[in-house]
Amino acid sequence: MATGFSGAAGTVHVIGAGVAGLAAAVALAARGRRVAVYEGAGHAGGRCRSFYDDTLGCRIDNGNHLLLSGNLATQKYLRQIGAEASLTGPDQADFPFMDLRTGERWSVKPDKGLIPWSLLSSDGRVPGTSLWEYLRGIALAWAPPGKTVSQCLKGNGQLFERFWEPLAVSVLNTEADKASAKLLWPVLRETFGRGAAACRPLIARQGLSESFVEPALAYLHKTKNTVAFNHRLKQMEFANGRLKALNFTGARIELTVQDHVILAVPPAIAGSLVPDLDVPDQFRAIVNGHFRLPTSSPKVAFIGLVGGCSHWLFVRNDMASVTVSAATELATQPSPDIALRLWPEICRALELGDCPMGPHRIVKEKRATFAQTPGQVLKRPDPSTAYDNLVLAGDWTNNGLPATIEGAIRSGQRAAELVVC
């Protein structure tokens, strides 16, 4: 088995090659540290990956992933692996929306500067909303840990239904009346709070693996670090306040005193490997429907949808992909029924008329993220552990952000810093 390298500073063993583990490995490799990554599956990327789908005859992502230009940890990671040009999006911060019930369309366009002057005019606001409803959003800045988004924003009214609720559900993957208000605030502060330049929506130009995974594996290979697939960690041995050895199926790695381990696996796995570790234990699903369109669209486009089942619609070439967040109930339904629910909404949003449904694929990620409720957020552990040479990473750890790519990458970079210090 590949055990990495043993230099004077020791090897950092990274368990799990999702974006958190990859970000940790890349940050360490960039500082000249020796890294050995072990991934339980036969491929990297975890919950953020692309794969070939036989029904559609092309590569698809496990789910649409939307990023914002204000995601600075992600930008740094992409620069390190040479993939900064692999994301695409509109030149301006512009979030088109449609109400599926009424057919009304509008756009959310954050102001260039820090003060949202455009909200003073009704043309600059979501249709049917008042300035007062926007001002209520400030309450999120002081949200106590126990409050939900609905409680904090007095969940009703047009702005709640047409902006706050879709925002909370897509960012926190949890129903607004259950989602932690306190966890929504850092996202607003780091994006909308910094003006339009930090709010440009971005998606992977080709696919998630082409942006976040393959360039990272190439970077680790180029820097002569190892990534071992099909290496599932089964057990950890501890002695005298330190992690002593890693047991994979059929192989044991004894750690030297200079070695460190970054555990970047999902919460349930980390909880089973590390004694007395409290972890989030409730989850929410995300359902994605990928549908082949009758004709190709020259532009990459996306649109937020309210008043139906679908939340976001993305169009790339001749593929329309719909995301439904906080979809735990929907994910229990048979895929053909889900497709029949989503397709008419796509037709309405893209003005396709009564178009017959073509080849499609429904992807259900039952544990897409942990449930970001006030109670579950309190269960997020800090990256440092009771063991000197063991650090945690992952979107579920206490990284100050919701369970997103930015949160996962930031946690990986922070874990790398803790090892280097």
Ligand X SMILES: Cc1cc2nc3c(=O)[nH]c(=O)nc-3n(C[C@H](O)[C@H](O)[C@H](O)COP(=O)(O)OP(=O)(O)OC[C@H]3O[C@@H](n4cnc5c(N)ncnc54)[C@H](O)[C@@H]3O)c2cc1C
Query: Quick one: which segment of 34-42, 235-243, 294-302, 334-342 binds ligand X (CB under 6 A)?
Result: 34-42
CB of 81 to ligand X, least distance (A): 15
CA distances (Å), 204 to each of 67, 108, 318, 349, 404, in order?
9, 21, 16, 22, 15
Cβ proximity of 38 and 284 under 8 Å? no
Taking the complex as a whole, how short is the minimal distance between the CB of residue 148 and ligand X, in angstroms?
21
339 near ligand X, judged by CB under 6 A = no
Cα maximum dimension of the chain = 68
Looking at the Cβ atoms of 87 and 265, the one nearer to ligand X is 265
- Which of 13, 33, 34, 47 binds ligand X (CB under 6 A)? It is 47
Q: Which of residues 221-240 bind ligand X (CB under 6 A)?
A: 232-233
Beta strands in 145-259 (DSSP E): 201-204, 226-228, 233-239, 242-248, 251-254
Q: How far is the CB of 135 from ligand X (least distance, A)?
A: 28
Pick from 148, 180, 226, 369 the residue near ligand X by CB under 6 A: 369
Q: Is 198 in the site for ligand X (CB under 6 A)?
A: no
Q: Is 179 in the site for ligand X (CB under 6 A)?
A: no
Alpha carbon distance 212, 48 (integer Å): 8
Least distance in angstroms from the C-beta of 269 to ligand X: 4
CB of 99 to ligand X, least distance (A): 21
Rounded least distance, CB 389 to ligand X, Å:
17
Report how far residue 271's alpha carbon sits from residue 157's, in angstroms, rounded to the nearest whole number.
41
* Token pair for 2: 């590949």
Task: Answer yes or no whether residue 330 interacts with ligand X by CB under 6 A.
Answer: no
- 305's enclosing H/E stretch is strand 283-306
Which residues are CB-contacts of 55 (< 8 A; sequence separation ≥ 6)? 359, 360, 361
Size of interface with ligand X, in residues (CB under 6 A): 37
Q: Is 66 in the site for ligand X (CB under 6 A)?
A: yes
Q: Which stretch binds ligand X (CB under 6 A): 4-12, 59-67, 154-162, 185-193?
A: 59-67
Per CB under 6 A, 269 contacts ligand X: yes
Measured between its terminal Cα atoms, the distance across the chain in Å is 29
Identify the CA nearest to 325 among candidates 313, 340, 343, 339. 313
289 lines the binding site for ligand X (CB under 6 A): no
Q: Which of 4, 10, 63, 201 is close enough to bind ligand X by CB under 6 A? A: 63
Among 17, 37, 60, 81, binds ligand X (CB under 6 A): 17
Choose which of 143, 265, 342, 377 interacts with ligand X (CB under 6 A).
265
Q: How far apart are CA 300 and CA 245, in angstroms?
A: 48
Q: Which two tokens stand for residue 34?
A: 């020796």
Pairing, β 34-38 against β 226-228: parallel
Instruction: Dihedral sign for Cα 135, 137, 143, 146, please.
Output: positive
Give whichever of 97 and 134 is closer to ligand X, judged by the CB atom.
97
User: Contact between 199 and ligand X (CB under 6 A)?
Assistant: no
Q: Is 48 an interacting residue with respect to ligand X (CB under 6 A)? A: yes
What gap in Å lies between CA 157 and CA 166, rounded to an integer? 13
Taking the complex as a whole, the smallest distance from the CB of residue 390 to ligand X amounts, in Å, to: 14
Sign of the torsion formed by the C-alpha atoms of 406, 409, 411 and 416: negative
Report whether 370 contacts 402 (CB < 8 A). no
* Interface with ligand X (CB under 6 A), residue from 167, 253, 286, 338: 286
CA distances from 79 to 22, 224, 252 (A): 14, 19, 35
- Of the candidate spans 292-300, 314-322, 327-335, 363-371, the one that interacts with ligand X by CB under 6 A turns out to be 363-371
Residues forming the site for ligand X (CB under 6 A): 15-21, 38-41, 46-48, 62-63, 65-67, 232-233, 264-266, 269, 286, 288, 365, 368-369, 394-395, 403-406, 408
